[in-house]
Amino acid sequence: MNRERSQQQFQRALKSIPGGVNSPARAFGAVGGEPIFIQRGEGQFLIDLDGNYFLDFIGSWGPHILGHRHPAVISAIDSALARGTSFGAPTELESELAELVIAAVPSIEKVRMVNSGTEATMSAIRVARGFTGRDKIIKFAGCYHGHVDSLLVKAGSGALTLGVPSSPGVPAGCTADTIVLEFNDPQTLADTFAAHGDKIAAVILEPVVGNMGVVIPQAGFLETCRELCTKHGTVLIFDEVMTGFRLAFGGAQELFGITPDMTTLGKIIGGGLPVGAYGGRADIMAVVSPSGPVYQAGTLSGNPLAMSSGIATLTTLRETKPYATLAAKTEKLCRGLSEAASAVGISHTIPHVGSMFTLFFNPNVVTDNTTAGQSDTKLFARYFWGMIERGVYLPCSQFEANFVSAAHTDGDIETTIAAARAVLATL
């Protein structure tokens, strides 16, 4: 496969951009080699600068549930662009998207638009602290909530160890009130509340984890989170930046029947444009400025292009109801991938929920960050490049979610399984 133009552009980018990329997730550092530069997207395909076509199972890391350049989305963006790009003043589009979100997501009574998932989680944590008057928060190892100082934390040596920064430039004081626990460990969570319950402002988690690969909550874990937060007056925050409008129209909270106090959103609600949102119970959101004292602002929040794209995306999802079909395609793909790996004796596990999945090269069921870390990343890197050579574009890390879109056909699923069968046989 010719990648000459991608290689040339990467060398160009290295001269002006740190590492040649504007997000580390694009750097191919976990798989070796150099990133592929994309020229355009079309439906279920990415086309690179050298004219290579790839079946895309990233979808811009989640937003493109309808596929690239869906006609309704492009038309909405074009119409908005004709009226202007940004006004720094309210538009009716903001209310329209807010109403769509509130109608769909069980936990949200009021919502504030921002520009990214990181802004959404950062703001939700601040609101939870302002609402409760408490400082401590609980997060779970392997759940990524954006590059927020207080959330860039690794687990310490013990389950109750206070977090230490996992990135230079984050002062220790920023993470001193962050407690990091293992996902799917309800007993340790209960013990932590027993020790610190009256000081914990919020528990934040991905209800289905996508940022250490797909990890599914075990029976009772989300229920325990909800019960303990209710008992101790702690704000339960579901980070549904990835799962919102992805697993169901109302997100993971609709799918699992667990209602948090606050929810953060992004990705799909912008239809591929930069967007984020946080919302929740009306009494909690009442503390947000200008209604209340907790300050948060943004010049481009509620940008009309992003709002229009989001409205078109959510409206299309509401009307077409693709979720059962997406889940069926994902199930078929995962079954085929598993059979292909088993046929050549490769240890693996392949958790999937709705249209999200990860093929872990791991003999164990992945339940948390520790078990995810037991995966064979060298084997994954060889699998990744083998699939690239066969025209299938996957996340360039073992520890990321894959996404099926409504644009993928049954034929695309079969093509992907066939490619995987050929690659796995060579590993």
Instruction: Report the mean per-residue pLDDT for the chain.
Output: 94
Q: Is the pLDDT of residue 72 over 80?
A: yes
Q: What is the pLDDT of residues 378-401, one digit of tens each?
A: 999 999 999 999 999 999 999 999
Q: In CATH, what number is assigned to the domain containing residue 115?
A: 3.40.640.10
Percent of the chain past pLDDT 70, that is, above it, reads 97
Position 214 scores a pLDDT of 97
pLDDT computed for residue 244 by the predictor = 98
Mean pLDDT of 51-56: 98
Q: How far apart are alpha carbons 71 and 4 in whole angstroms?
A: 32
Last residue of a domain, one of 320, 350, 382: 320
- Binned at pLDDT 50, 70 and 90, residue 167 comes out as low
Q: Alpha-carbon distance 382 to 385, whole Å? A: 5
pLDDT at 155 over 70: no
Residue 146 — very low, low, confident or very high, per pLDDT cuts 50/70/90? confident
Indicate whether 316 and 335 sit together in one domain.
no
The pLDDT value recorded for residue 308 is: 98
**pLDDT per position as a tens digit, 265-299:** 999 999 999 999 999 999 999 999 999 999 999 99
Give the residue from 300, 320, 340 where a domain finishes. 320
Q: Which of 320, 350, 356 is nearest to 338 (CA)?
A: 350
What's the CA gap between 266 and 301, in Å, rounded?
12
- Is it the case that residue 11 has pLDDT exceeding 70? yes
Phi and psi angles of residue 404, each rounded to the nearest 5 degrees, phi first: -95, 140
Rounded to two decimals, the pTM is 0.95
282 is written with which tokens? 């009306």
Do 56 and 83 fall into the same domain?
A: no
Mean of pLDDT values over 249-276: 98
Asked whether the beta carbons of 163 and 175 are under 8 A apart, the reply is yes
The band of 147, judged by pLDDT with boundaries at 50, 70 and 90, is confident
Same domain assignment for residues 84 and 225 = yes
pLDDT attached to residue 202? 98
Residue 163: the pLDDT is 46
Looking at the predicted structure, is the pLDDT value of residue 173 above 80? Answer: no
Q: In 282-359, which ranges are continuous DSSP H helix?
A: 282-285, 304-320, 323-343
Q: Which of 287, 320, 353 is the last residue of a domain?
A: 320
Same domain? For 301 and 366 the reply is no
Per-residue pLDDT, 158: 31
pLDDT of res. 154: 54
Please, which pLDDT band fits residue 234 given cuts at 50, 70 and 90?
very high
pLDDT in tens, 175-227: 789 999 999 999 999 999 999 999 999 999 999 999 999 999 999 999 999 99
Residue 356 has pLDDT above 50, yes or no: yes
**156 pLDDT more than 60:** no
* pLDDT, mean of residues 140-164: 63
Q: Residues of the chain with pLDDT > 90: what percent?
A: 90
User: Rounded to whole angstroms, how far apart are CA atoms 158 and 192?
Assistant: 12
Alpha-carbon distances, residue 11 vs 8, 36, 37, 137 (angstroms): 5, 12, 11, 42
Q: Are residues 292 and 336 located together in one domain of the fold? A: no
Question: 390 and 352: one domain?
Answer: yes
Choose between 56 and 156: higher pLDDT.
56
The catalytic residues are 144, 239, 267
Q: Where are the alpha helices (DSSP H) in 37-91?
A: 71-83
User: pLDDT digit string (tens) for 98-123?
Assistant: 999 999 999 999 999 999 999 999 99
Residues 80 and 16 placed together within one structural domain of the fold: no
Residues 145-166 as b/e (b if ≥16 CB within 10 A, e otherwise) read bbbbbbbbbebeeebeeebbbe
Query: How many domains would you assign to the chain?
Result: 2
Asked if 224 and 218 touch (Cβ cutoff 8 Å), the reply is no
Residue 164 pLDDT > 60, yes or no? no
Task: Tell me how far CA of residue 80 lies from CA of 271, 313, 315, 319, in angstroms.
Answer: 14, 14, 16, 21
| Pair 249, 175 in one domain | yes
The CATH number for 17's domain is: 3.90.1150.10
Report, as an integer, the average pLDDT of 317-330.
Answer: 98
Structure confidence at residue 170 (pLDDT): 73
CA dihedral sign of residues 140, 142, 147, 152: positive
Average pLDDT over residues 6-35: 94
Whether 179 and 302 share a structural domain: yes
- For residues 332 and 240, membership in a common domain is answered with no
Q: Are 296 and 216 in the same domain? A: yes
- The residue ranking higher by pLDDT, 23 or 410, is 410
Do residues 129 and 200 touch, judged by C-beta distance below 8 A?
Answer: no
Which structural domain range is residue 309 located in? 71-320
User: Counting every residue, how long is the chain?
Assistant: 427
Q: What is the pLDDT of residue 174?
A: 75
| Beta bridge mates, 38 | 48
State the average pLDDT over residues 351-357.
98
Quick one: DSSP state of residue 25?
Answer: G
Q: In what order do the strands lie in the sheet with 235-239?
A: 110-114, 276-280, 262-266, 235-239, 200-205, 136-140, 178-181
pLDDT for the residue 186: 97
The neighbouring-strand residues paired with 112 are 278
Instruction: Identify whether residues 394 and 404 lie together within a single domain.
Output: yes
